[in-house]
């Protein structure tokens, strides 16, 4: 039986290196930049983005709120908080639940909610 050998040339591949300027760390978004924490610190249940990826919304079932974020400057490694919308202000028992939501590039929000049975 013949031995088979393969010779591999050492090739050095130049991979693009992403340099992060130390000053860019200061540009990263923190909730200290705004008065209140979106969703009052409650977990995010759903995320949707506009068709041209200019605007992002997050929904928290526990807080019954939707927060909007501008994402046009993603090359700056940050989201810019825009606004919070409270849904069903008298929904403290989580009687209503958002099933689907969407947002347009010009920040028009649409959602479908259902009323669940809570035993009352």
Which pLDDT tens digit goes with each residue over 55-72? 888 998 888 888 888 887
Q: Is residue 113 within 8 Å of 83, Cβ to Cβ?
A: no
Q: Is residue 47 within 8 Å of 57, Cβ to Cβ?
A: yes
**Residue 89 belongs to some domain of the structure:** yes
**Residue 3 belongs to some domain of the structure:** no
**Mean pLDDT over each residue of the chain, to the nearest integer:** 70
For position 54, what pLDDT does the model report? 86
**Residue 1 belongs to some domain of the structure:** no
Q: How, if at all, do strands 65-70 and 80-86 pair?
A: antiparallel
Number of domains in the chain: 1
* Gap between the Cα atoms of 96 and 116, Å rounded: 6
The domain of 106 spans 22-115
**Residue 5 belongs to some domain of the structure:** no
Taking 3-state DSSP, the helix, strand and coil percentages for the chain, each rounded to the nearest 5, stand at 15, 30, 55
Question: What are the residue ranges in the chain where pLDDT is below 50?
Answer: 23-34, 119-120
């Amino acid at each position: 039986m013949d031995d088979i050998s393969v010779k591999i040339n050492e090739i050095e591949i130049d991979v693009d290196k992403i340099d992060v300027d130390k000053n860019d760390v200061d540009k990263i978004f923190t909730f200290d930049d705004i008065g209140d924490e979106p969703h009052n610190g409650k977990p995010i249940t759903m995320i949707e983005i506009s068709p041209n990826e200019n605007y992002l919304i997050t929904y928290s079932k526990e807080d019954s709120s939707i927060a909007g974020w501008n994402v046009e400057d993603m090359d700056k490694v940050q989201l810019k908080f825009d606004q919070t919308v409270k849904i069903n202000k008298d929904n403290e028992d989580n009687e209503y639940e958002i099933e689907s939501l969407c947002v347009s590039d010009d920040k028009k929000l649409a959602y479908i909610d259902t009323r669940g049975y809570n035993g009352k």
